[in-house]
DNA sequence: GAAAAGATTACCT
DNA sequence: GGTAATCTTTTCC
């Protein structure tokens, strides 16, 4: 048995432990919650980096705060591709990454925890992308098949999840669609403005 | 064509 | 806690 698990762990197949299409083809809120504790990895020319996701936000159908609210445009076209597709957009000076759940809906990846604390600061959607090296060119990447970007299942139960209002949105700001690992030091806004978690 | 509005962050008081 | 930076996308005339 030890040899068997060792074989699995050493498997060279990139899909050996990767979140598949079915994981993302679920209600967006379920995907946002289930991503907490999962690993997002990116392979760049120099190295491979990964973070354990600790904070996400759901952007759902008929959601006035969603970029897809008014239908497909040049910017948001990736939001209408297959579940597991990356939607990367630019805001001010930084880029932020989402992963598509169901058509026209997505989960904003807001913060992660680095493998080593001194590695950098992936807390915040812009910092997360900068930390991992995600660029605008990664918009439209299929994380189920890409050799550069993918998700790995969480290895252990994530612990208590906090629920609160989304950050930085000016419409539907009351909706509690932000999920985070309670008490995790890498969550970008430990205290959601206004009301309470859970 | 012009203007406004950001799913942010860093740095100011 | 407030605001400037900075630039693309979207919207409006």
Q: Over 60: is that where the pLDDT of A90 sits?
A: yes
Task: Over range A179-190, report the average pLDDT.
Answer: 92
* Position A154 in a domain: yes
Does the pLDDT of residue A8 top 70, yes or no? no
pLDDT of A1 over the 50 cut: no
Å: A31 CA to B3 C1': 37
pLDDT of A66 > 50? The answer is yes
Domain-located, residue A186: no
A109 pLDDT more than 60 = yes
How would residue A189 be classed by pLDDT, with cut points 50, 70 and 90? confident
Q: What is the mean pLDDT of residues A145-172?
A: 95
Q: What is residue A191's predicted lDDT score, i.e. its pLDDT? A: 64
What is the spatial distance, in angstroms and rounded to an integer, between the CA atom of A91 and the C1' atom of B2?
Answer: 21
Task: Output the pLDDT for position A91.
Answer: 95
Domain that holds residue A147: 6-181
Footprint of strand C on the protein (CB under 7 A): A 67, 70, 73-76, 90, 92-93
Strand ranges in A13-143 using DSSP code E only, listed in sequence order = 39-43, 48-59, 86-91, 94-100, 106-114
For residue A6, what pLDDT band results from cuts at 50, 70 and 90?
Answer: very low
Rounded Cα distance, A57 and A66, in Å: 11
**How many C-beta atoms lie closer than 10 Å to residue A168's C-beta?**
13
- Report if residue A187 sits inside a domain: no
Which sign, positive or negative, has the C-alpha torsion A149, A153, A155, A157? positive
Distance A55 CA to B9 C1' (A): 17
Q: How many domains does chain A have?
A: 1
Question: Is there a domain that residue A34 lies in?
Answer: yes
CA of A95 to C1' of B9 (A): 11
The yes-or-no verdict on residue A159 having pLDDT over 80 is: yes
């Amino acid at each position: 048995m030890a040899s068997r698990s060792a074989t699995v762990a050493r498997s060279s197949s990139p899909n050996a432990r990767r979140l598949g299409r079915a994981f993302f083809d679920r209600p967006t809120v379920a995907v946002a919650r289930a991503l907490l504790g999962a690993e997002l990895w990116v392979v760049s020319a120099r190295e491979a980096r990964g973070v354990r996701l600790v904070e996400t936000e759901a952007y759902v159908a008929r959601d006035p705060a969603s970029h897809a609210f008014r239908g497909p445009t040049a910017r948001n076209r990736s939001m209408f591709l297959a579940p597991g597709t990356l939607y990367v957009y630019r805001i001010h000076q930084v880029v932020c990454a989402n992963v598509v759940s169901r058509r026209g809906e997505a989960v904003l990846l807001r913060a992660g925890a680095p493998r080593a604390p001194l590695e950098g600061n992936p807390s915040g959607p812009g910092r997360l992308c900068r930390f991992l090296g995600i660029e605008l060119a990664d918009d439209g990447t299929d994380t189920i098949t890409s050799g550069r970007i993918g998700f790995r299942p969480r290895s252990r139960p994530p612990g208590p999840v906090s629920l609160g209002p989304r950050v930085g949105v000016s419409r539907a700001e009351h909706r509690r669609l932000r999920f985070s690992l309670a008490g995790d030091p890498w969550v970008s806004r430990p205290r959601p403005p206004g009301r309470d978690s859970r």
